[in-house]
Amino acid sequence: MMATGNIHNYYEHLVIQLIMDKSGKTTIDDYVEDVACVALNKLPPRYIRHDIDMAFYLQDQERELMMNQIESAIKYAFEYVSSHKESAA
């Protein structure tokens, strides 16, 4: 089996950082992780080895499209997690 220590989904860091910014949270807790999982499942995977590669090779138009998709996925995820937490209470 091949070692995959450097391979990760490019969206993970972006999604978690935006969730933290939007929620005002300073630590990653269960809520942040729940929202991140829902949001990441709405996005196509973008596996990379080094973040700098993605930042360097993305064209401005593609970066803008990605950010719009991330924003939409996070908005959906906040609503989804909030509605399911309310119904569980």
DSSP per residue, 18-83: HHHHHHT-SS--HHHHHHHHHHHHHS---EES-HHHHHHH--HHHHHHHHHHHHHHHHHHHHHHHH
For residue 1, the model assigns a pLDDT of 47
For residue 89, the model assigns a pLDDT of 55
For residue 87, the model assigns a pLDDT of 66
For residue 3, the model assigns a pLDDT of 56
Q: Which residues of the chain have pLDDT under 70?
A: 1-4, 86-89
Q: Model pTM? A: 0.84
